[in-house]
A and B are shown apart, each in its own frame.
Chain A
Amino acid sequence: MARDAVLQVAGLQTHFFTFGGTRVVRAVDGVDFTLREGETLGLVGESGSGKTTTCLSIVGLLPRAARIVGGAVVFEGEDLTRKSQRELRRIRGRRIAVILQDPMASLNPLFTIFRQVAEPAFFHQRLRGRSLRERVQSLLRAVRIPSPEWRMREYPHQMSGGMRQRIVGAIALAGGPRLVIADEPTTNLDVTIQAQYLDLLKDIQRDTGVALIFVTHNLGIVAKMCDRVAVMYAGKIVEQAAVRELFDAPKHPYTRALLGSMPKLGSKEPLYSIRGQPPNLANLPPGCSFHPRCPDVMPRCMTEEPRDFRPGDGSVARCWLLGDVLARP
């Protein structure tokens, strides 16, 4: 039997309203996925594909211009889209934690590491004094900060980039979360440090059973970290599959193109290049949003938006090509 679903996102739509509501950008337009305990979902896409807006919608931290206009975010049985900010504050930092890209921007330069790592335990678990200090030390040990009893008295600027990102990881773990959303956490790190950090996240997941959403544009990170992958394009998930399925038999032409454009170590084969540029969300092409760049475009794609097709191996893809395959006898 499958493990419990920690998070279920169904038909999520988040739109940005600008110029007094006269211009609407559909940043997230009907996103569905389910995340189970101990599972890692990779949310892959280019800038502007809606992956970050999806994450911010889950935790209720959207910018002012953005509104969730449809769908539900069910976390541990409760719909988060119906909660007030006050109620969300009890969930964020405790049961859902977020790790952002730039650790220097997510840490406060004026407070010690101790104070910042202690904050969730202080507010959510009401720990004080010695038990708080011990909790912080064990968290820092969990993210492999050497001599935590000394290091926790220091400030962020005294740490290297990799260490800062591990401190952010410690803060994320402080509340004992069931879901961690990591938004490109290793983009600013060097390759060897990135590898260390990814291994650390995996170890922590094995120990705690936390579910992870990994936002990235790097398919290599997906191959290393994820169990399932959702590929986003122009605010929609165009393909969702188990990670092996996606790498071995990609269904959507965009996924195929992304995989083909990835340089592989030791291979000098020419890279597949996707023509054109990522689309402007305020002015999407009719039909399938990918059709102007698609190598397999058909007349139908230009007028009719494809629905989700399920070829039967557990994957879901939004492409008319699959409709044809499925319709064949």
Chain B
Amino acid sequence: MSSPVLEVRALTKHFPVRRTLLGGPARLVKAVDGIDLAIGAGETLGLIGESGCGKTTTSKLILRQETPTSGTIRFEGRDIASLKGADLMAYRRAVQVVFQDPFSSLSPRMRVGDIIAEPLEIHTDLPHAAIEERVGRVLELVGLAPDVAPLFPHEFSGGQRQRIAIARALATDTRLIVLDEPVSALDVSVRAQIINQLEALQKKLGVSYLFIGHDLATVAHISHRIAVMYLGKIVETAQSDALCARPMHPYTQALFAAALPSHPDDRAPDKPITGEVPSALSLPSGCRFHPRCPSAMPVCSQTEPALRRREGGGEVACHLYP
């Protein structure tokens, strides 16, 4: 494989929680606790997990909205923590983000053209006419007519707004887009439009995606590879097909069991998991999943399993597969 566009190594982010009134010990929320990721050029990595598992913190670390507690993030071979000045600006041009809710991520007081032109005005010295032309081009790329530029976001439906957000992300010379649940807020009939559009754009432009989501079917559909996160750790990664063919980690299996059927006759595999995600403030000992795991063994509550090569490619962190 060619060298990855983005490479994350042993990334951790701990948030200190204030002491209690009685002066109890300061505690840490280990939101991201030592994860490795790599995204190749033109590749989509799906990051899946339930709320509180650290997906969004991971995306913030990659976008440099948060500073890691430890670990490194390399983009095209350079450590992003050390970037300053012009280099940091170049990084911000290359890595963009699309959020879940296109109703709150577009300013209601700016015209669509200005929303898309803003990154160009900040990052380039293109003359006005060139910016306008570029805005028209990216609008066409995402399937909107260039003459919508003078309109305001409220004049668009949810799906069209999400297209505008994607156009904004593509305005600069973007190589990686972090897609944080980009279709969960959209109507069903429009979701497929946006997913197909994202796939078409990737083919055309060779841009890489980090696709964050909680809906297994959607993430599996768009991603080449998938990383499953649970309480700040990656418990399993594999090619999307391999993961769907044979999920190995009991948590991944539980996600598949909980996935909704696509036909009334599809029977869910009978492996129910009980309980809810524990608080990240008091992590279980050993394997973080052991209190909910249907196949927990004595060793699981004592030793934390490390990621090991799994059958069919990829890695899994579970004592079941020594």
Contact = CB atoms under 8 A, between A and B. Distances in A.
Interface in B109-142: none
Nearest to A266: B244
Interface stretch (B10-18, B27-35, B182-190): B182-190
Contacts of A46: 187-189
A22 interface: no
Nearest to A48: B187
25 contacts: A46-B189, A162-B276, A190-B50, A191-B215, A191-B216, A194-B258, A196-B272, A196-B274, A218-B260, A220-B262, A223-B260, A223-B262, A223-B266, A243-B264, A260-B192, A261-B188, A265-B220, A265-B259, A266-B241, A266-B245, A268-B240, A277-B157, A278-B189, A278-B190, A293-B189
B254 interface: yes
Interface in B209-230: 214-218, 220-221
Given A160-B276, A273-B196, A224 B215 contact: no
A262 B266 CA distance: 15
B192 A272 contact: yes
Chain B interface main SS type: helix
A214 to B, nearest CB: 13
B265 A244 contact: yes
B204 interface: no
B81 interface: no
Given A162-B276, A244-B265, A263-B220, A277 B258 contact: no
A326 interface: no
Interface residues of A, number: 43
Contacts of B263: 223, 247
A201 interface: no
Contacts of A195: 257-258, 268, 272
Contacts of B187: 46-47, 217, 278
B77 interface: no
Contacts of A224: 260-261, 264, 268
Given A257-B189, A261-B188, A271 B260 contact: no
Given A191-B215, A263-B221, 15 more contacts: A190-B277, A191-B216, A194-B258, A195-B257, A217-B187, A223-B262, A223-B263, A224-B261, A243-B264, A262-B188, A265-B259, A271-B221, A274-B190, A277-B159, A278-B189
